[in-house]
Amino acid sequence: MLYQQVAERLAKAIQSGAYVEGERLPSVRRLHQEWQVSFSTALAALGLLEAQGLIEARPRSGYYVRARSLSLPKIQQQTEPAPAAVERYALISRVLQQSHQPGLMHLGAAVPEPCYLPLDALKRISARCLREQPSLLTDYAFAPGDEELRRQISQRMQLVGCQIDKEDVLITQGCQEALSLCLRALAKPGDIIAIESPAYHGLLQAIEALGLRALEIPCHPQDGLDVEALARALGQWPVKACVVSANFSNPSGSLMPDEAKARLVALISAAQIPLIEDDTYGDLTHGSRRPRPLKSWDREGWVLYCSAFSKTLAPGFRVGWLVAGRFQATLQRLFTVTALAGHALSQRVIAEYLARGEYDRHLRRIRRSYRQQMQAAGEALAAEHLPVHWQLPRGGFLLWLQLASAQDAMQVYQRLLEQGVSVMPGHLFSGTEHFQHCLRLSVAVKTPQWPEFARALQQVL
């Protein structure tokens, strides 16, 4: 039927991003004139897309692309969160181990495949650094770490509004170490830490290992932390610290609007509760402007900023950093008694890479690739008409899926594994039961086979 062909053409245009969420589609009159179809065919095509949930009619205005947003899990409307011990370590370790098995389509771990990393440049710079200063291979990099690297990092942070200099930066061995050090410095066993729900599994493991209790604050899948819910929780519980990933959180990819970020920093500063910011994915915006970190609103030093080059340059280099505000001296001491020192060679190589000005070009390339991969994954899922909701994040390389039926994601994960595909079940991202129908995928894979993945998912659902 002609109206179905018209509908299909429009659906393709939406899925390819030619029309984005909230954008107005051509009117019935324009379809009639430009696509040379009758009024009734155009109307029937738009009606079909509306019935499929792709578009919505707005009275006296026209048809608009509908936002494919997830419905918030029920807890967020029904009950206020309460602190609880986390017990996820064993499960997370098992799934992470399985997800690295050879021969799988690796969509599980949040580790970019080598084609997204500037391997050749890092190899060249490493060779030159070693030629010029062989002791880099054996030297300790004592805290606070390589001076040039700290200078480069502080300059980049200044560009996104953080009023810091190189003396404020402490180089760590990845962001995981930075997060763990902050938790150890700020809390003792039994203390309550307010975190996002869902949250990064490595954070849950650290909270569990340190004997802390997690207070899971509801998050909107698109706009991140619910600041009002956090404000209520702070009034009710003696929270020792908060941990928030405002820019492209793991797993949901949410991005807090600037206005909510400002309110959050004002809230924790007034309450004098430290906030640990995890900005691991902040550099990976799909848009033109890198979002501001929470730290850029921090005037009183309550934000402890953590990040790393693990998702952008070299996961195995183990180079991250910490800007701990009023807690900087405590953190530096804790780092020294924990790690003694960092890796001199990897710190120097990254410092050189940044100093050459290559980082921004590299970021532009991978941001474009991740945006395209997301789009392709979304199109493949849409083409199979799967009973799954998702929304394309505005940055990063993680796609968060919510199964429409109340299927157990752990079973789906197991069945996908049998089909040769690794993903991450939602169980890994919360101490609660609320995300057990969710899956996380990484799109940072070299040869993505999205149609094959969508068909595999179709079979196991």
Q: How far is the CB of 460 from ligand PLP (least distance, A)?
A: 25
C-alpha 447/C-alpha 454 separation (Å) is 15
Looking at residue 138, the DSSP 8-state letter turns out to be: T
Q: Judged by CB under 6 A, which of 99, 205, 247, 250 binds ligand PLP? A: 250
Instruction: Count interface residues toward ligand PLP (CB under 6 A).
Output: 14
If one asks whether residue 320 binds ligand PLP (CB under 6 A), the answer comes out as yes
Looking at residue 405, the DSSP 8-state letter turns out to be: S
Closest to ligand PLP by CB, 182 or 416: 182
Q: Judged by CB under 6 A, which of 144, 174, 221, 426 binds ligand PLP? A: 174
CA angle 406, 408, 412 (to 5 degrees): 120
Question: Which residues are paired to 63 by β-bridges?
Answer: 57
- Footprint of ligand PLP on 15-54 (CB under 6 A): none
User: Segment near ligand PLP (CB under 6 A), from 42-50, 170-178, 419-427, 445-453?
Assistant: 170-178
Q: What does the per-residue mask of binding to ligand PLP show for 219-248, with x meaning CB under 6 A? A: --------------------------x---
Q: Judged by CB under 6 A, which of 26, 83, 145, 202 binds ligand PLP? A: 202
Q: Judged by CB under 6 A, which of 315, 325, 378, 393 binds ligand PLP? A: 315
If one asks whether residue 110 binds ligand PLP (CB under 6 A), the answer comes out as yes
397-426 burial by CB neighbour count: b if 16+ within 10 A, else e? bbbbbbbeeebebbebbeebbeeebbbbbb
Q: Judged by CB under 6 A, which of 180, 247, 310, 436 binds ligand PLP? A: 310
- Footprint of ligand PLP on 265-294 (CB under 6 A): 278, 280
| Residue in 85, 76, 80 with CA at minimum distance from that of residue 214 | 85
If one asks whether residue 308 binds ligand PLP (CB under 6 A), the answer comes out as yes
C-alpha 354/C-alpha 21 separation (Å) is 36
Q: How far is the CB of 310 from ligand PLP (least distance, A)?
A: 3
Closest to ligand PLP by CB, 195 or 229: 195
Rounded to whole angstroms, what are the CA distances from 262 to 269, 297, 306?
11, 6, 18
Output the DSSP codes for 202-238.
HHHHHHHHTT-EEEEEEEETTTEE-HHHHHHHHHHS-
Output the DSSP codes for 69-87.
PPPPPTHHHH-----EE--
Q: Where do contacts with ligand PLP occur on this chain (CB under 6 A)?
A: 110, 174-176, 200, 202, 245, 250, 278, 280, 308, 310, 315, 320
